[in-house]
Structure 1
Amino acid sequence: MNESPDRLYELLPAVHRVRDAERGYPLRALLRVIGEQADVIEKDIARLYDNWFIETCDDWVVPYIGDLIGYRAVQDVSNAGTKSSAEATRSLNKVLVPRRDVAATLGSRRRKGTLALLELLANNVTGWPARAVEFYTLLGWTQHLDHQRRDRGRTADLRDGHALDLVNTPFEQLAHTVDVRRIQSRHSSGRHNIPTVGVFVWRLRSYSVTHAPAYCVENQGAQYFTFSVLGNDSPLYTRPEPQGDPTHIADEVNLPTAIRRRALEERLGLRPLRAKASATYYGAQKSIAIYAPGWPAKGAPQPIPANLVIPADLTDWHYRAPRQRVAVDPVLGRIVFPDKQLPKHGVWVTYHYAFSADMGGGEYPRVLSQPASFALYRVTKDKPGPDTSETINAALVRWRTDQTALGPEPDLTEEKELWRQAKEELRAAVIQIEDSSVYSESLTIELEAGESLQLRAANRTRPIIRLIDNATDRPDAFAISGKKASRFKLDGLMVAGRGLQVNGPDCSDRERAAEGDLCDVIIRHSTLIPGWELESGCEPKRPNEPSLELFQTRAKIIVEASIIGSIYVSANEVQTDPVDISISDSIVDATSEALVAIGAPCLPLAFARLSIVRSTVIGAVNTHAIMLGENSIFMSLVRVGRRQTGCMRFCYVTPDSRTPQRYHCQPDHVVAALNDLEPTLAADEKEKARQRESERVRPRFGSIHYGMSAYCQLAPDCAEEISAGAEDESEMGVFHDLFSPQRTANLRARLDEYTPAGMEAGILLEN
């Protein structure tokens, strides 16, 4: 197909095109509009054949194919909710009518009643890995001596460490007495009974970190390291292996589970006690790998062989590794080398951690975007070459050098066009980091008028910019400034050690102010570490320090799918307009609910207009105005200067907050409902009831510390008004677009459809 926008225009006789050129091309402009619609029709016709098949059809066709085979969705998508209506409908439709479940419907009906089918249903319907367990096999009962079933639950053997590790997990092997409570009870569910089947699901995903530097814990000793480059304890997770047999019930290695010490250990003998790392988890292309060039001897194979790795308990670092062996604790994510045999050329690690969604810096696929014409500069430490730089600053210098080398505009007409194309290309630069290394350097970026700079990570990499305190006369930070119509974008990186500063022109300097300011600053799929750095237990080292500071800037700030600390705004309220800050699908974490998440230093309110959707804010919000707050959670007081402007809808807002008009927000909604139901209560009883309801619907999280797996994930006992309180009945907060309530409801309906008669299946959230 000819994709040229002028293909209809090119069919006209030359005489008409000449006359059209004399009049400024009005006919060409008209035919371009007609051509766009013709392209749409042609593409739609070309998709007709593909839309007959579930594997190749468009998303909107999936429900129609499902209807042909009798597939029924649990809910409709009439209430689209957030984003644009069409986009929200497509996103929700993928959850309510999963393509994989529709494709497997007929096969699933033939396998109805099998245990492995329940696991497959969970994966097809929700996308969550699962393990199905028949709890009657774990009941303690007296077996007939002639018909023994050794695979059934047995009494505890205190010498069997593996079995004891698995108590109260989906992989449990010990016998239980009968539990008469129903597994689907909303009050107190039970498990171990004859008709009970449990489907354990893992909502957290396993994310990789590939060949990244380990962190040396120098305050403990030069031989101590952590897998996390931030120095915090980070449990290591399994890289799930696919199940070959469709009738196989998932094991630990097939699911994104935290790796146990005993699971990593492979015993070689008891006298003397010998062990090594299991090849199931350790090695190249496995869940864990450790690289130490030249260790234990020059030219030693890498990664370190499994027979030199000892699984151990490294709590409090009370362990001395024997010579030529390295100890690893997968529960804490720690490494210990022999104190007299240290790695001299550094330590690199490959491992997996768990998180809820594709957010912040991480090695997950994301869509990369850039200007139509741009100059690309590659940065890497792992595989340096003639066309790459080893530091970000070196890439910035190459960009400026290329601009200088271009020289002035030539006089020759033939060369002018090439010069202008090269000039336009160099006005937009993309600096792409192509590995997961740590770049310890100070960055000060100043953009000229009309320039665009994108600093990004390559797809499936997670580089870290560590800002070091190496200047005594001024603060160190990642500083950005620019002139009129300039733009900056940070995409896919982690920033630690300091925050990001966006500097505008000083209003007192008229000459500089006349040159203008940045047009916008975009922070996308990036992490600006809350508290700058982490302690071993994930507590922030600098909890009062901001991650993003705006100084006298008029640039629009856009934060998308990112994790950042506090945002501080310093602006001239007399000579400038409020700064526009747009936050979506992100976490703004002040590291404590008692601190300020969005505000101004030494001032009651930040001079900013805030729009925040599908986000979670930990800390107070003090701002000039909130233009839109939607499907978000505000865990501390919100104070705005202009209540007449903007609105907040389907949000949790801490009581006593000063906000613009609120619609269907919590706890307002439950308190209003309480007043309607109990109008005859005394005043003091009403007040107590309001407080109880307000406390009941307050959001509860698995963790509020960055670095932990359940960071900002709503706890299973969180009130339904929050966990399903968004506009489209999804959860409020940053993980709204996971549509967890809809996935759970869909799975529950499918389990009721495919569970054998007389059996009862329940959904058990493992994380």
Structure 2
Amino acid sequence: MTPRPDRLYDLLPVVYRMRDAEQGYPLRDLLRVPGRQADVLEADIARLYDNAFIETCDDWVVPYIGDLLGYTLLPEAATLDEDGACAAGLGRVLAPRADVANTIDARRRKGTLSLLEDLARDAAGWPARAVESYRLLGWMQHLDHRRLSRGGSADLRDPGPLQLPGWQRGAFDPFAHSVDVRRIVGRRGRGRYNLPEVGLFAFRLKSYPVTTTPAYCAEENGPHCYTFSVLGNDAPLYQRPIAEPAPTHIAEERNLPVPLRRYRFAERGAAADYARASADVYGEGRSVLVYAPDWPAKGQGLPVPLDALIPADLSGWRYRVPRGRIAVDPELGRLVFPPDQRPKRGVWVSYQYGFAGDIGGGEYARRMPELEGAVRYVVHAALPDRDPAKTPLPAGHFAGIADALDAWAEAKDAAEAQAFAALKDADPQLPDDEAHAQAKARRPRALIVELAESGVYEGRIDLQLEAGEAIQLRAAERTRPVLRLLDVRASQPDALTIGGLRGSRVVLDGLLVVGRGIEVQGPADDDLLCAPEDDLCELVIRHCTLVPGWSLHCDCDPKRPGEPSVTLDRTRAALRIEHGILGAIAVISPVRRGEPSPLRICDSVLDATGIDRVALGSPDEAVAYVEATFERCTVIGEIQAHGIALAEDSIFASRVRVLRRQHGCVRFCYVADGSRTPRRFHCQPDLALAAVAPDDAAARAGELRRVAPQFISVRYATPDYMRLADDCCAEIRTGASDRSAMGVWHDLHEPQREANLAARFEEYVPAGTDAGIIFAS
């Protein structure tokens, strides 16, 4: 609603408004005070109407509407704080709007199999597939009641179904099984195949898109070999789920975010061979698409036609590819062209990859705060059908980041010259020094450099900011640009260099940085006349990935595991990292110390690529001279810091060593045994060891092994990166301050989602039926 400050004043007769104008509008100013309150009251009344409907109500109203319907909430919902950001996210999990909205419809469909899939989507946010176990039991055929589709032996001539029993925990298993009398909800051992058992296979990984990005040429294996991942690593391709045709439909493989199997990617020909790719997964708007400009002939390859693709096993990079065809391995994310028919203009790909949530660089929706009064430049990357270096671009659009920065410098100089001329014209007696000072103050102070496509932006970047300037280097909406820093100078490092003067600020948003790290430079050692405040004020890294180890091998091992992703070189700048993935942080102490610089990391992964390496430290001192804050983070590597102001809901897989222990707090965290930290509250393994006799060394060692966090994968670029294993101890999986999981995936609230879904089962599953949740991914 648009506020109307003079709504009451406009109701007065004209004669009173004329007299008020003659006296300087005192009556108007007086009536604006109750007018603002009238706007607030009217907006509140309108909001009360919106809160009467589940589609438009505020989040805090959802539990109340659910209570009117008899919707059962978990006990944790009574402790929610609607003013806290984390509590608000948890509230949407404990009282999901879609599940409350569909309560009446779910009660009408109670007892149906497809309802369980809808409950998983509405109550937990997980796509799922429901399987009735009695349909998979071995069946002794009766002559009068024959069921030829039940039972029987596996057909060894058909390889497709033979892959399914162990794939995705057997969610698509088509074969018959003998009876397992254990219950599917048993605590000691879970049975799956019995008459009353129903399994709901939940898929927690999401399928994220990458649109028109360059493929990586694996030259070490041959100039005709490529990987879908621009980092050069093997990455399984995922499929884009297809919506189910009807609410009563049971989800199939095509309806779920699952990896692409070679059998699924292929279309079987008349001779039962894999002669071509399937049209269900390849093409515009589907899971995979390949661009090879002017291949195999000029004017072709935009995109590569379906008939040119051959599904293949490229695990050894060896495959005899016919001319005019491309071998594709979706399980490894590899492409191989004919050696004598290589693409001359490069290869671009669009595909899907699997990941757990919205952190790091990715093509997902995110908030992009704007710099006030900023000049916006747009930088374009090379595409299959367009090269920005050879295409005329409109004003404000550039073919490289360096060109945009040069244009920014020219625009500042032009603005200063124009302001100087205007000042001299207005006052010819104004001294030149004073006129230059005033003109310099009128220079533009904020710049936004937006990377428009999910391509690769190469080159060396050096950001040197003047006093009070701010630069935001960000990705455009729904893109994942790759900033590739090249090793072009043999005698100097080639990192992304950032420096600035008093009040300057740099923001990196939505980028994937590979090849080198970021170096923040402070004043030089010999610049003793420089004031301590003449330094960069703040560096913000938001929704970015700084590849741990700079780059990857095919098996996702880092190529440079000992190199830091961020180096703070004699600077007092504050560093803030949000929803990011990065390698180690190295801090070189400034000449003039003062108070330690603040370092805040939240909802992020700090990965030194090994627990025996240093994730936060200093190359020239025992500890890094910073005061760190960790909120909902997973840290692989040792922490060596001057102080920790707060560590909350985080996992420190290696030891933490803090110099200043009298200040700060560590709460609801896992801290490796033998760490030196500030005071701890409700941390592990402290609580587990407190229940063991101090003199029982064997029991204490056993507790340390039991309570240690177990990860599915600790290698970046794998789908299950930094996710806790399902058999990880409950002290870690539910050990956060709100009983969620510790670490970077805290805000997924998976324990609460599972409990909420289990509570729905108690209401909607028919009597005598056991329904259990099986995590397929």
TM-score, structure 1 normalization:
0.93
Q: Cα distance 1:31–1:632, how it changes in 2: closer, same or farther (>3 A)?
A: farther
Q: Conserved in 2, the CA contact under 8 Å of 1:6 and 1:32? A: yes
Q: Which of 373, 396, 403 is the equivalent residue of 2:412?
A: 403
- Give the partner amino acid of 1:297: A
**What secondary structure does 1:52 align onto?**
coil
Q: 2:135 maps to which residue?
A: 137
Rounded to whole Å, the distance in 2 between the matches of 1:9 and 1:593 is 69
Q: 2:207 maps to which residue?
A: 206
Q: Conserved in 2, the CA contact under 8 Å of 1:399 and 1:426? A: no
Residue 654 of structure 1 pairs with residue 672 of structure 2: yes
Rounded to whole Å, the distance in 1 between the matches of 2:528 and 2:4 is 47
- Give the partner amino acid of 1:707: A
Q: Which of 557, 569, 580 is the equivalent residue of 1:539?
A: 557
Residue 371 of structure 1 pairs with residue 371 of structure 2: yes
Equivalent residues in 2 for 1:34-433 (5 A)? 39-80=39-80, 85-168=83-166, 169-270=170-271, 273=273, 275-300=275-300, 302-381=302-381, 382=383, 384=388, 385-387=393-395, 388-406=397-415, 407-409=417-419, 410-411=422-423, 426-433=444-451
Rounded to whole Å, the distance in 2 between the matches of 1:77 and 1:255 is 30
Q: Which of 709, 734, 740 is the equivalent residue of 2:744?
A: 734
Residue 711 of structure 1 pairs with residue 729 of structure 2: no
Q: 1:626 maps to which residue?
A: 644
Rounded to whole Å, the distance in 2 between the matches of 1:8 and 1:630 is 51
**What secondary structure does 2:213 align onto?**
strand
Shift of 1:14: 8.5
**What secondary structure does 1:629 align onto?**
strand
Rounded to whole Å, the distance in 2 between the matches of 1:762 and 1:274 is 37
Q: Cα distance 1:279–1:424, how it changes in 2: closer, same or farther (>3 A)?
A: farther
Shift of 1:235: 0.2
Q: Conserved in 2, the CA contact under 8 Å of 1:5 and 1:35? A: yes
Rounded to whole Å, the distance in 2 between the matches of 1:762 and 1:514 is 62
CA deviations on 1:350-405 (whole Å, 9 max, x unpaired) are 00001111000000011111123111000112464223111111111111111122
Shift of 1:149: 2.6
Q: 2:573 maps to which residue?
A: 555
Shift of 1:425: 8.3
Q: Conserved in 2, the CA contact under 8 Å of 1:628 and 1:648? A: yes
After TM superposition, the structure 1 stretch with the greater mean CA deviation from structure 2, 356-365 or 686-695, is: 686-695
Equivalent residues in 2 for 1:324-723 (5 A)? 324-381=324-381, 382=383, 384=388, 385-387=393-395, 388-406=397-415, 407-409=417-419, 410-411=422-423, 426-513=444-531, 516-572=534-590, 575-675=593-693, 684=695, 686-723=696-733
Q: Conserved in 2, the CA contact under 8 Å of 1:557 and 1:582? A: yes
Rounded to whole Å, the distance in 2 between the matches of 1:425 and 1:45 is 46
- Give the partner amino acid of 2:373: S
Q: Cα distance 1:31–1:132, how it changes in 2: closer, same or farther (>3 A)?
A: farther
Rounded to whole Å, the distance in 2 between the matches of 1:125 and 1:421 is 60
Rounded to whole Å, the distance in 2 between the matches of 1:156 and 1:422 is 80
Q: Conserved in 2, the CA contact under 8 Å of 1:650 and 1:663? A: yes
Shift of 1:602: 3.3
Rounded to whole Å, the distance in 1 between the matches of 2:645 and 2:380 is 41
Equivalent residues in 2 for 1:2-17 (5 A)? 2-3=2-3
Rounded to whole Å, the distance in 2 between the matches of 1:503 and 1:479 is 7
TM-score, structure 2 normalization:
0.92
Q: Conserved in 2, the CA contact under 8 Å of 1:320 and 1:336? A: no
After TM superposition, the structure 1 stretch with the greater mean CA deviation from structure 2, 145-154 or 158-167, is: 145-154
Equivalent residues in 2 for 1:13-32 (5 A)? none
Q: 1:679 maps to which residue?
A: none
Q: Conserved in 1, the CA contact under 8 Å of 2:496 and 2:519? A: yes
Rounded to whole Å, the distance in 2 between the matches of 1:346 and 1:434 is 20
Shift of 1:212: 0.3
Rounded to whole Å, the distance in 1 between the matches of 2:304 and 2:768 is 53
Q: Cα distance 1:142–1:555, how it changes in 2: closer, same or farther (>3 A)?
A: same
Q: Conserved in 2, the CA contact under 8 Å of 1:610 and 1:625? A: yes
Shift of 1:41: 3.4
CA deviations on 1:640-683 (whole Å, 9 max, x unpaired) are 000000000000000110000000000001111334xxxxxxx6
Q: Cα distance 1:32–1:766, how it changes in 2: closer, same or farther (>3 A)?
A: farther
Q: How many residue pairs end up in the alignment? A: 747
**What secondary structure does 1:607 align onto?**
strand
**What secondary structure does 1:510 align onto?**
coil
**What secondary structure does 1:76 align onto?**
helix
Shift of 1:310: 0.6
Q: Cα distance 1:587–1:310, how it changes in 2: closer, same or farther (>3 A)?
A: same
**What secondary structure does 1:92 align onto?**
helix
CA deviations on 1:527-581 (whole Å, 9 max, x unpaired) are 0000000000000000000000001111111000000100010113753321110
Rounded to whole Å, the distance in 1 between the matches of 2:634 and 2:108 is 44
**What secondary structure does 2:191 align onto?**
coil
Shift of 1:725: 0.5
Rounded to whole Å, the distance in 2 between the matches of 1:16 and 1:672 is 76
CA deviations on 1:238-295 (whole Å, 9 max, x unpaired) are 1011112111110111000001001111022328x45100011111110001100111
Q: Conserved in 2, the CA contact under 8 Å of 1:500 and 1:548? A: yes
Rounded to whole Å, the distance in 2 between the matches of 1:14 and 1:367 is 47
Gap regions ≥5 residues in structure 2: 428-436
Q: Cα distance 1:33–1:766, how it changes in 2: closer, same or farther (>3 A)?
A: farther
Rounded to whole Å, the distance in 2 between the matches of 1:506 and 1:7 is 60
Rounded to whole Å, the distance in 2 between the matches of 1:274 and 1:5 is 71
Rounded to whole Å, the distance in 2 between the matches of 1:535 and 1:764 is 33
Residue 765 of structure 1 pairs with residue 775 of structure 2: yes
Shift of 1:152: 3.2
Q: Conserved in 1, the CA contact under 8 Å of 2:229 and 2:333? A: yes
Q: Conserved in 2, the CA contact under 8 Å of 1:269 and 1:275? A: no
Rounded to whole Å, the distance in 2 between the matches of 1:563 and 1:36 is 45
CA deviations on 1:604-654 (whole Å, 9 max, x unpaired) are 100000001001000000000000000000000000000000000000000
Gap regions ≥5 residues in structure 1: 676-682
- Give the partner amino acid of 2:229: S
Rounded to whole Å, the distance in 1 between the matches of 2:473 and 2:331 is 34
Identity of aligned residues (%): 50
Aligned-residue RMSD, C-alpha: 2.5
**What secondary structure does 1:749 align onto?**
helix
Rounded to whole Å, the distance in 2 between the matches of 1:421 and 1:20 is 36
Rounded to whole Å, the distance in 2 between the matches of 1:63 and 1:557 is 39
Rounded to whole Å, the distance in 1 between the matches of 2:478 and 2:187 is 41
Q: Conserved in 2, the CA contact under 8 Å of 1:373 and 1:425? A: no
**What secondary structure does 2:675 align onto?**
coil
- Give the partner amino acid of 2:546: L
Q: Cα distance 1:522–1:155, how it changes in 2: closer, same or farther (>3 A)?
A: same
Q: Conserved in 2, the CA contact under 8 Å of 1:432 and 1:458? A: yes
Q: 1:743 maps to which residue?
A: 753
Q: Conserved in 1, the CA contact under 8 Å of 2:3 and 2:36? A: no
CA deviations on 1:698-722 (whole Å, 9 max, x unpaired) are 1111100001000000100010010
